[in-house]
Chain A
């Protein structure tokens, strides 16, 4: 039903805007490039008053709108507006764009008429540019140009020679081209064509010169499209297609041809560029469609690679693209490729194992054949990629991933037994775990097939050294050097082996044998790198046999080493190595009081200590007791920040905590708050199981981490973060006033409270409640992460949680924590995160294994008190 119209008095006719208002509106539109609105406003304005200035502005608005429409691909509509412009302001010179639009629309005669009518109003440069358009059209055999120009017009007169030049270029006749170009006058309407052709002649040999020639052609020239196509072709080949992304069809084809693209390649690119970036399906279709051109096998293999990222869902795409479905082998291979993107070695191991077993079932052929080699490579793939065995020792857990990899590598040797690196990898893996018997077994297998392999012989040398079989080690070293005389590593190992054997003989009171070993060491130590140690051992050996001779020899040697703390270290290290106390040796040479003589001595001591630690040996407890305190006295010497940091780091490695703390604190006095020294100070204070950090220390550490991050010192920030994680979560056991939910690092007591002892305040929250509250806040996974549980084990916890539910999982974690902590009660202090073992896997879960860490060096941290004399 129609709504009744309201009846009332007629509204008064509204008065339109005033001329000034309209003018302002029109000018505003024009300034903003809103040409359609601008033309409408100017037309309204001219209805009020016809002023020449406003006509001129309307003409400008028409021109703007015409260019806008031409750019949108509406040339006819644009032409109408140019005509409007000419009508509204006939006194204005013709716009070049109007002229070129007429030519583009094929209205050559109209363009010529326009030029004849209004050409005298144009400046010379514009006229030249417009005539170059006519020249280009004439060259392209547009008959209307010749018909509209006089016979003596230069465009017609010089047309034949320009045509000759172009034809000569196209057919590759460079002599004819050169002659024709020479005949084109400088002021010819074909001058820009000459520049283009000269540039093309130079493109291959002098691209920079060619580019310079092209740059002489203006954008308003009739030859500008040619120039653009040439310039696009001249750039780097790698970015050619990117440069052509917005180019038109003719420009693309022109540039691609210049760049050496054949017709087939161009056609395929036109086909593929439309499907780029739309996922694998279009490319799969293309590969299938063009498989004959590309080669059936090649196209198929590329198609499989396209499926890997989205496998197994992507498997259906290949059939949708028209190709045949995946075979069993292809499916297993793509699954293995896909598994490599998953950060779980078990996925990898299972996927490649499945593929290997498929290959085995198909009958790969005898060992060493291509098929067998393929099986071996597949079996080795995971460890080759992840380098697990190269870094780990045998795990104690039967279902650990390293064991699966060992099985795979061992099986691979049946298919490819001439792979020395695999034997070596296995030997070193067992060697790292101290399983010398299995290591020897693998070594023998390898050496049986490859007796002259330097890598295997070097592993044999290391294995012999690990078993204290020094004679055997020396024999292997000689074999290595016979094959590779400049193998400094083997030579060094051999010298070290003889020195080690000499020490062993001294310990066994076999002086004659020890001297023989020392002579052997001297013979092999051609560079004299080990002569200091050798001479010290000779002196110590003398000392055991003839005290006076020994004193003299050692005294001379210590003096040759410069005396001081560095020489003391060298002597003490050798004394300990032959089973004597440092005091025995130091007393013999009169080094009663251990002290650093000067800064050079400190530098030499630290360098010697670093070299010793780099050899893989720690510092014996007796030596730590000997040097820890005296070194602290040197901490206040004027070291640079880099020297201080280096000193702290060396002292950390040596376990010289007291000295490290002294150096860190001295550095902090000089450079307060420096993150790396805050870290060294913090760590050096953690010298025993009872040395827990208090909140002030933790807060200071967190500040240091922030400061390190802000200054871009990511390494220190990361190290501090690791330390914080080790001692977190302090809130779990903190019991601070303000409750468990307070920021664990928020300090509400005096900053000056720099108490280094444990926080004396009692807990106010029961540990189980604290744990539950913690889980509520951060979740089970984050809690486990904070407790140092790795991703794989956390996944097991997650699986367990799915099986038994969250509530029971929390109970189990609490129970595990109670078991793991010796003192999980009201007196518990913040300390290193407890080690929580993951729950036992269910019967189907066989991925519970984890890598056994590389064995710790022997703990010689004997807490006995050292007395010098």
Chain B
């Protein structure tokens, strides 16, 4: 995910305090020992949004095109695992693919 706002789950007008709070929450749910790669992404996102100067620079200079994941995360972020409906079960029980 390249968009730091999406990584931290922040709105585009987030201020310093909001960024800091989102960072702490993200680190709490994903500490470095559990998923180092994800933690690195969280840390990088935090660094790129930490101050107003950094946020302005991110808006001006980040030119990385959106990935498909970025668009999906923006539209509807991944949530907690869900249970498929009985209809979906039945389709697979009937041998569908």
Chain A residues within CB distance 8 Å of chain B: 100, 103-104, 133, 136-137, 139-142, 166-167, 169-170, 172, 200, 203-204, 222-223, 225-226, 229, 237, 241, 247-251, 253-254, 257-265, 268-269, 272-273, 276, 280, 283, 286-287, 290, 293-295, 297-298, 301-302, 305-306, 308-309, 333, 337, 340, 370, 373-374, 377-378, 381
State whether B71 touches A250 (Cβ < 8 A).
no
State whether B74 touches A381 (Cβ < 8 A).
no
Q: Which residues of A contact B76 (CB under 8 A)?
A: 261-265, 268
Q: Given A249-B97, A260-B79, A264-B75, list of 5 further CB < 8 A pairs?
A: A103-B95, A166-B89, A170-B89, A248-B96, A268-B76
How distant is the Cα of A280 from the Cα of B67 in the complex, in angstroms? 11
Chain B residues within CB distance 8 Å of chain A: 12, 52-53, 56-57, 59-66, 68, 70-72, 74-86, 88-97
State whether A258 touches B81 (Cβ < 8 A).
yes
State whether B92 touches A229 (Cβ < 8 A).
yes
Q: Which of A226, A251, A283 contacts B93 (CB 8 A)?
A: A226
How distant is the Cα of A85 from the Cα of B52 in the complex, in angstroms? 75
How distant is the Cα of A241 from the Cα of B71 in the complex, in angstroms? 14
Q: Which of A225, A237, A340 contacts B95 (CB 8 A)?
A: A225
Q: Which residues of B contact A260 (CB under 8 A)?
A: 78-82
State whether A142 touches B94 (Cβ < 8 A).
yes
State whether B60 touches A377 (Cβ < 8 A).
yes
State whether B88 touches A370 (Cβ < 8 A).
no
State whether A272 touches B83 (Cβ < 8 A).
no
CB distance from B18 to the nearest CB of A (A): 17
State whether B97 touches A248 (Cβ < 8 A).
yes
7 contacts between A and B (CB under 8 A): A225-B93, A241-B68, A283-B71, A287-B71, A340-B63, A373-B53, A378-B60
Knowing A260-B80, A297-B12, say if A222 contacts B93 (CB, 8 Å).
yes
How distant is the Cα of A172 from the Cα of B82 in the complex, in angstroms? 10
State whether A295 touches B74 (Cβ < 8 A).
yes
Q: Which residues of A contact B72 (CB under 8 A)?
A: 265, 268-269, 272
What 9 pairs between A and B have smallest CB-CB spacing?
A: A248-B97, A265-B76, A140-B93, A264-B76, A337-B63, A302-B66, A250-B91, A140-B90, A136-B93
State whether B71 touches A254 (Cβ < 8 A).
no
How distant is the Cα of A340 from the Cα of B61 in the complex, in angstroms? 10
Instruction: Output the nearest chain B residue to A142 by Cβ-Cβ distance.
Output: B94
State whether B66 touches A305 (Cβ < 8 A).
yes
CB distance from B26 to the nearest CB of A (A): 15
State whether A306 touches B65 (Cβ < 8 A).
yes
Instruction: Output the nearest chain B residue to A138 by Cβ-Cβ distance.
Output: B93
Q: Which residues of A contact B93 (CB under 8 A)?
A: 136-137, 139-140, 222-223, 225-226
CB distance from B40 to the nearest CB of A (A): 13
Q: Which of A222, A253, A309 contacts B84 (CB 8 A)?
A: A253
Q: Which of A247, A248, A261, A333 contacts B78 (CB 8 A)?
A: A261
Knowing A268-B71, A294-B75, A374-B60, say if A100 contacts B95 (CB, 8 Å).
yes
State whether A298 touches B65 (Cβ < 8 A).
no
Q: Which residues of A contact B66 (CB under 8 A)?
A: 283, 287, 302, 305-306
Q: Which of B59, B61, B71, B92 contacts A225 (CB 8 A)?
A: B92
CB distance from A238 to the nearest CB of B (A): 8
Q: Which residues of B contact A280 (CB under 8 A)?
A: 65
How distant is the Cα of A249 from the Cα of B88 in the complex, in angstroms? 10
How distant is the Cα of A273 from the Cα of B83 in the complex, in angstroms? 23
How distant is the Cα of A167 from the Cα of B70 in the complex, in angstroms? 35
State whether A257 touches B82 (Cβ < 8 A).
yes
How distant is the Cα of A36 from the Cα of B56 in the complex, in angstroms? 67
How distant is the Cα of A203 from the Cα of B82 in the complex, in angstroms? 11
Q: Which residues of B contact A140 (CB under 8 A)?
A: 89-91, 93-94
How distant is the Cα of A98 from the Cα of B9 in the complex, in angstroms? 52
State whether A293 touches B75 (Cβ < 8 A).
yes
State whether A265 touches B68 (Cβ < 8 A).
no
Q: Which residues of B contact A100 (CB under 8 A)?
A: 95
How distant is the Cα of A654 from the Cα of B24 in the complex, in angstroms? 52
State whether A225 touches B96 (Cβ < 8 A).
yes
State whether B81 touches A247 (Cβ < 8 A).
no
State whether B65 touches A203 (Cβ < 8 A).
no
Instruction: Output the nearest chain A residue to B11 by Cβ-Cβ distance.
Output: A295
Q: Which residues of A contact B65 (CB under 8 A)?
A: 280, 283, 302, 305-306, 308-309
Q: Which of B74, B78, B85, B93 has the most CB of A within 10 A?
A: B93
Q: Which residues of B contact A264 (CB under 8 A)?
A: 75-76
How distant is the Cα of A225 from the Cα of B92 in the complex, in angstroms? 6
CB distance from B42 to the nearest CB of A (A): 14
CB distance from A110 to the nearest CB of B (A): 15
State whether A259 touches B92 (Cβ < 8 A).
no
Q: Which of B71, B76, B81, B88 has the most CB of A within 10 A?
A: B71
